Amino acid sequence: MKPIHLSLLAATAVMGAGCASAEFAANKQKVTRYEPKLEKKAKGLYYAAGQDKPHTGTHTAWYANGELAWVGHMKEGVRHGEYTQWRAVKDLLHVKGQYKDGERDGDWGQWYFNGHKEMTSTYTKGKAGNIVYYS
């Protein structure tokens, strides 16, 4: 595959649309079950339903067909640690990267439906850099 380098402005626009949030992907591919069900509350922190302390631990979801949709980790109510999202087709990786203190941090990747690499990027404190698109 040959990498395609885009201008920062175009890359930022496409990045926002291409790297859909887990919630958007879930709605589009019909996620049916979350464990635990998290609610965003005060100060933007996530809480497990019925809990009074911000959630620490794993957050997972499954598609209607029973396939795993994503696995992410939370620390004191914010995303922290490895995040992996799959497509609704068995074991087909979609997005993978790391969160640190609620922001994307480090290397992230995104893959097409055919399994080929679509995009790579490196985040520093939530800011995207070194974005490469593949055709």
Supply the pTM of this predicted model. Answer: 0.74
d(CA 131, CA 27): 26
CATH number where 50 lies:
2.20.110
d(CA 28, CA 19): 13
Of the candidates 26, 4, 24, 27, the one whose C-alpha atom is nearest the C-alpha of residue 16 is 24
Element (H, E) at 106: strand 106-111
List the pLDDT tens digit at each of the 135 positions of the chain: 545 443 333 333 333 434 444 444 444 667 888 888 999 998 999 999 889 999 999 999 999 888 899 999 999 999 999 999 999 888 899 999 999 999 999 999 999 999 999 999 999 999 999 999 998
How many structural domains compose the chain?
Answer: 1
Domain membership of residue 75 as a residue range: 3-134
